[in-house]
Amino acid sequence: MLAVDLEVAIVLLVVVVVIGYFVFASFAFGAGYQPTPRRSVETMLRLAEVGPRDTVFDLGAGTGAIVFRAARTYRATVLGVEVEPVRMGILRLRRRFGSAADRISLRWGNLFSLDFRPATVVTAFLWPGAMARLRPKFEAELRPGARVVSHCHAIPGWTPTAYDAATDVYLYRWPEARRT
C-alpha cells in the first residue's frame, strides 16, 4: 500500500514540476508555447512566396513547425531563434536526425538581440506586445523587399498587403507596409 502511494506521489511530483516549469518559462522567457497550426504554416510560407533564394528568420522557433517546413519543403535557408532551453534542445535533435540540416541554423537566445538585416522573410507567432516591440526594430533593420508574416497578431501601425482570415495570417512587405 505504501509503495503504491509512493509511486502516485512521484508521478504527481513529476507532473507538477513539468507543468510548473512551463508556466514559469512562459513568464520568465516572455511568451507561452503553442505550435503554429500546419494550415497556418502553409499560408505563411505561401503568402511570403518562400523559395530556395530566401533567408527565413523564425522569431520564437518553438519546436520547429515553421523552421523545418521552410527548410525541407520550401528549400529556404532558415534561422530559428528560441529562448526556452527545452524547446531549443528539441529543435537541435530534430535538425540532427532530419534532412536539410545544412540549411538550418539555430540560435538559443533572445530574438530582440538578433540583427534582422540578412532576412528576406521573417515569420512570427508571438504575443501582441512582442509585435509592437518588434516594429521599430523591423523599421531600422529590414531590407527593402523583405516580407513579414505573422500568425494571429498584427503589427500595430503597419498595413498588411494581405490577410488570410481562414488561417489568421498577416503578410507585410517592407517598406510598403509603412507607407500605405
Ligand X SMILES: C[S@@+](CC[C@H](N)C(=O)[O-])C[C@H]1O[C@@H](n2cnc3c(N)ncnc32)[C@H](O)[C@@H]1O
Residue 61 Cβ, how far from ligand X at the closest point, in Å? 5
> Among all chains, which residue has been given the C-alpha cell 510548473?
20
Residue facing ligand X at closest CB distance: 60
Nearer to ligand X, 42 or 176 (CB): 42
Nearer residue to ligand X within complex by CB, 58 or 164:
58
User: What's phi and psi for 78, nearest 5 deg?
Assistant: -130, 140
Residue 163 CB, nearest approach to ligand X (Å): 18
Indicate the residue among 8 and 32 with the shorter CB distance to ligand X: 32
Q: Distance between terminal CA atoms of the chain? A: 71
> Least distance to ligand X from the beta carbon of 101, Å?
19
Nearer to ligand X, 55 or 159 (CB): 55
- Contact residues for ligand X, defined by CB under 6 A: 29-31, 33-36, 58, 60-62, 65-66, 81-84, 87, 110-112, 125-126
Choose among 6, 125, 133: nearest CA to 66: 125
In the bound state with ligand X, the residue whose beta carbon lies nearer, of 81 and 119, is 81
Is the Cα dihedral 109, 65, 33, 138 positive or negative? Answer: positive
Output the smallest distance, CB 107 to ligand X, in A: 9
Give, for 42, the enclosing helix (H) or strand (E): helix 38-47
Residue 149 CB, nearest approach to ligand X (Å): 11
- H/E stretch holding 69 reads helix 65-72
**Cβ count near 43 (within 10 Å):** 21
Residues 30, 60 contacting (CB under 8 angstroms)? no
